[in-house]
Amino acid sequence: MLPSDIETKAALRHLSVPADGSRKGLSRRRFLQAAALGTGGLLAGPGLGFGGILPGWEEHLAAAGPLGPADGVLVVLLMAGGNDALNTVVPFGQPSYYTKRGSLAYQPIGTLPLAPGLGLNPNLVKLEARFAAGKVAIVQGIGVVDQVSFSHFESMAAWMQGSAGGGTPNSGWLGRWLDGAPPTNPFAAVSIDSSVPLHLIGETRKAIALNADSAPFGGTPDPGWDLVYEAFSNFAAQPSGLGSWGDAVAGTGSQLIQTAAQAKPLYSPTLPAGPLVDKLTLAARLINADLGARVIGVTYGDFDSHKNQPNMHPNRMRELDAGVEAFFTTLGAGFQGRTSMMVFSEFGRYPVRNDSNGVDHGWSGNAFVIGDRVAGGLKGQTLDTAVTETNGHIRPTMDFRSMYASLLTDWLAADATQILGGSFSPVPLFSSAPG
Amino acid sequence: MPTPPADVAHLLRRAGFGGSAARIAELSALDRPALVDAVLSTTASPSDAAPASTGNALIAEWTQTQDLSTWWLKRMITSPTPIVEKMTLFWHGHFASSQDKVNRTLYLYRQNHTYRVNALGSFKYLAHQMAIQPAMLSYLDNDANVKGAPNQNFARELMELFLLGVGNYSEDDVIASARAWTGHGINDNTKTYQFNGMQHDYELKTFFGTTKAWDGPEIIDEILTNTLKRVIAARFITRKLWTFFAYANPSDTIVNTLAATFWTSGFSITALLRALFLRDEFWSTTARQALVRSPIEYVVNIMRQMGLTPEEANPEWHLRDMGQQLFYPPNVSGWKPNGYWLSTSSASARAEFAQRVAFVLYGKGSLNGLWVSYPGFAVNQVLDLAGISDASANTKKVLLDYGNAQKARATWPMRTGLCALALLSPESQLA
């Protein structure tokens, strides 16, 4: 639905791009050219190419809007910095946990019950209630099994890229899902941030970004400025003549104007304050607005607790608990059965406490998958603090791509083998399909 | 032989934050080598005494950091030696430390001062200084790296992000380096670097195959003198600087040649930059179209061109949403180029800043001269005002179509509208 005649004019301009052959063919070719040109840096994936062509206006008009009744929505939350898996899902039944963690270890009595010998961090009260209700799968012992480095950068790149192959990654697993999704809706993948992380960047498309801090520019047609919005969008109506990055800059502006009007209502009433509650409330409202959002990325941190962990990690846990709760309580009833959230971190932390009262980078971690259709419970093998490599690390017992395979196949109905570049035995995560 | 004005403008955009028409005309008289030398000259760099609030315990840290940020933006806008501020910004993204964790503006100021005074000097000396700056000791936890309980954070990033790049060392090298850096910390009373021998591991360690009682600074010396490693380090820094100044993914030939210049000069940053700016590829169309302005570059170019101060334009209200805040790099790997800056939400923040600048200029009467009854004329005026001398046909058409459409409705919003659009054009957003 077009909110105003201004956007009709913009749409017409887009449609009037001189086309030799079908306009779709043109846009595709331009896109591939741009994709071939514009790479550089880990997060600097392909530019948006000939901006304004994709998402194409006529397609956008035809297909923007509601989810199909069986379309799954996936929210991916990154706990950036390396969440301490052992103090999140506490193996209090393991004597070596206490030997290695010393004063940082949680006593059994404070933790929230999960299973014999295993408790949830005392600050994850609401999450534990969801677990008890069977709505939370805890995927244990997950990580980059073939990891050779314990750097944030490399681990995050591996998780975000989500496929085998060396070199600097230039696309991410959900970005490649987006490449294969119908090229119709700008809201198909959304990053709730001021930037788009690698896992939401594909070979030919990338997620749009919505910032929780304020509604985007151009959202409210202003009597004095609506023509400016339209003109801003029109920088992308023709090639910029300034190369692929010039086109990409223009395309981003055009995409902003296209999406701003639809995103505006999401910011009212004012989002609740909080380091994660605001972002996840916006994510839930975005789903409720039924604009066609299928994949939503949220990044949140810092979890890098090298020092004085007790001053930091419990706060992150409380914020996580509050954020997840805000998300699911904001989410409309009609979307509960179609929405799942996956929570991960680039690695866990070292089993042994360091002398700064913190823990250094580790290896194996835990992930959470939360939602109405999730087959709740403990998946995989609990991290065993007694069994470590010669360097003292706990080796992951599950490849992170096994979890991706399930999310892609069972929740997004996508071709996991193609997206992940290989076959990974899926972990059963869902009790039924989205619906 | 004089240099074409478009070439001078290109160099001033990359080696600084853009040049005024007068400055471009002045430098056009020089040939290319003399032009590069003029741009690289640091002799006129003003002293950088800290803002009054820095380190004042009675003033909130947040306020201190805001003051420091404004102070630095002003330097970028007004400095007669913008290359110094540009390289200071580069080092801030390279040897990154964030106030998010350091939480002490005084440390960040001292680190900033150290980037600046060494910005074009010896990379070796800069690396040594960076390792013992309290900002870094705190940001990467080396202040907690002690004998018997090494904390690897700094030792790892020193090789991965500061000197060599991933894949050029082993996990054992990280472990050895972390032990070598034990005891290098901060004196809590004086708030300065302190070596504490009681906490230093004096035992033998094996680093890059050599077993001895390594001490932290010797690790840097080894990396930058070892005949194999110094070449890798020189290429690592060269590649990053080429990406910062020219374009991403340079050929090995460019990197290897410049890197040889770099290490044979004893890691002189000026020597490297001179060679970099004198390479033909730097002046190519590929290079001219290869970089999106970072948010800091974007706001500084605009304020410099428009003669606005940070107090007038308030860029700090928008920079975070654009994705770049001084003294708050997102993590230890700093900022990335190009696509990193392109998202709808950062575009929104740029647009809001452009709109603000347009209204500030309107309020100052700076847009009164735009001849809005004749949109064709007003478009040329506003492009001049924005310092865009080579607008593309498409940009001119967008502005003119807007002017005509706006005139048909009402001319009053056209002054601010045209100004904002000029500042949002691809020309304004590319470096």
HEC profile of B87-140: HHHHHHHHCCCCHHHHCCHHHHHHHHHHHHHCCCCEHHHHHHHHHCCHHHHHHC
Same domain, B183 and B206: yes
Q: Give the C-alpha separation, B390 to A341, whole Å.
A: 49
Q: Is residue A276 part of a domain?
A: yes
Rounded distance, CA B296 to CA B349, Å? 12
Whether residue A352 lies inside any domain: the answer is yes
A112, A119 contact by CB (below 8 A): yes
Q: Which pLDDT value is given to residue A148? A: 63
Answer yes or no: do B212 and B246 share one domain: no
Beta bridge partners of B122: B268
- A38 vs chain B: nearest CA distance in angstroms? 8
Residue A49's pLDDT band, with cuts at 50, 70 and 90, is very low
A37, A193, A235, A305: best mutation site toward chain B, by most B Cβ within 10 Å? A235
In this predicted structure, what is the pLDDT of residue B255? 98
Select from A9, A50, A150, A151 the residue whose CB has the most chain B CBs within 10 Å, as the one to mutate to test that interface: A151
A434 falls within a domain: no
Kindly give, in sequence order, each residue whose CB lies less than 8 Å from that of residue B249, ignoring residues fewer than 6 positions away.
A39, A40, B243
The answer to whether B413 contacts A256, with C-beta atoms less than 8 Å apart, is no
Q: pLDDT band for A29, please (50, 70, 90 cuts).
A: very low
B206 and B283 co-located in one domain: no
- What residues of chain B lie within 8 A of the CB of A389, using their CB? none
Reduced to 3 states, what is the DSSP secondary structure of residue A398? strand
Does any domain span residue A425? Answer: no
Give a yes or no: residue A121 inside a domain.
yes
Residue A430 backbone phi and psi in degrees, to 5? -120, 145
Q: Is the pLDDT of residue A186 over 90?
A: no
Domain stops at, among B216, B249, B271? B216
B10 lies in a domain?
A: no
Summarize pLDDT for B53-70 with one digit per residue, the tens: 999 999 999 999 999 999
Question: Residue A258: what pLDDT?
Answer: 86
Query: Cα A181 to chain center, whole Å?
Result: 16
Distance, CA of A78 to CA of A85 (rounded, Å): 13
- Cross-strand partners of B206: B211
Instruction: Count the Cβ atoms, other than its own, within 10 Å of residue A390.
Output: 5
Is position B42 within any domain? no
B81 touching A (Cβ < 8 Å)? no
Indicate whether B87 belongs to any domain.
no
Is A257 inside a domain boundary?
no
B99 touches chain A (CB under 8 A): no
d(CA A250, CA A53): 11
A195-234 residues touching B, CB cutoff 8 A? 195-196, 201, 208-211, 213-214, 216-218, 224-225, 227-228, 230-232, 234
Radius of gyration of chain B (CA): 23
* Domain-located, residue B89: no
Residues of B in contact with A249 (CB under 8 A): 292, 342, 426, 429-430
| Domain that includes residue B329, residue range | 295-429
- DSSP 8-state code for residue B384: H
Task: Please report the pLDDT score of residue B39 as a whole number.
Answer: 98
Q: Is the ipTM of this complex over 0.90?
A: yes
B311 and B401 belong to one structural domain: yes
Q: What is the mean pLDDT of residues A255-275?
A: 91
- The structural domain count of chain A equals 1
Q: Are A344 and A300 in contact (CB under 8 A)?
A: no
pLDDT of residue A50: 27
CB A91 within 8 A of CB A119: no
Lowest mean pLDDT among A35-44, A132-141, A191-200, A412-421: A35-44
Using CA atoms, how far apart are residues A49 and A52, in angstroms rounded to an integer? 9
CATH code, domain carrying A355: 3.40.720
Low-confidence ranges of chain B (pLDDT < 70): none
A11 located within any domain: no
Average pLDDT of the residues in A169-191: 87
Rounded distance, CA B421 to CA B395, Å? Answer: 9
User: Do residues B204 and B255 share a domain?
Assistant: no
DSSP one-letter string for A60-125: HHHH-SPPPTT--EEEEEEETT---GGGTEE-TT-HHHHHHHGGGSPPGGGSEEEETTEEE-TT-H
Choose, out of A150, A226, A227, A230, the residue to mutate when testing the contact with B (most B CBs < 10 Å): A227
Tell whether B325 and B350 lie within a shared domain: yes
State pLDDT tens for residues B382-431.
999 999 998 999 999 999 999 999 999 988 899 999 999 999 999 999 99
In a domain, B86, yes or no: no
Co-location of B255 and B372 in the same domain: no
A194/B392 CB distance under 8 A: no
Residues B197 and B313 grouped into a single domain: no
How far does the CA of residue A9 sit from the closest CA of chain B (Å)? 12
Smallest Cα distance from B347 to chain A, Å = 6
How would you class A123 by CB atoms within 10 Å of its CB: exposed for 0-12, middle for 13-18, buried for 19 or more? buried
Number of domains in chain B: 3
Q: What is the mean pLDDT of chain A?
A: 83
Query: Residue A180 sits in which domain range?
Result: 68-212+271-420
The residues that bridge with A340 in the sheet, in sequence order, are: A74, A371
Q: B301 and B284 share a domain?
A: no
In a domain, B80, yes or no: no
Arithmetic mean of pLDDT over chain B:
96
Considering the domain boundaries, does residue A46 fall inside one? no
**Which of residues 202 through 231 in chain B touch A, CB cutoff 8 A?**
none
Do B336 and B385 lie in one domain? The reply is yes
Say what the pLDDT of residue B133 is.
Answer: 97
Alpha-carbon distance of A257 to A386, in angstroms, equals 55
User: Are B310 and B424 part of one and the same domain?
Assistant: yes
**Residue B317 shares a structural domain with residue B415:** yes
More confident position, A334 or A53: A334
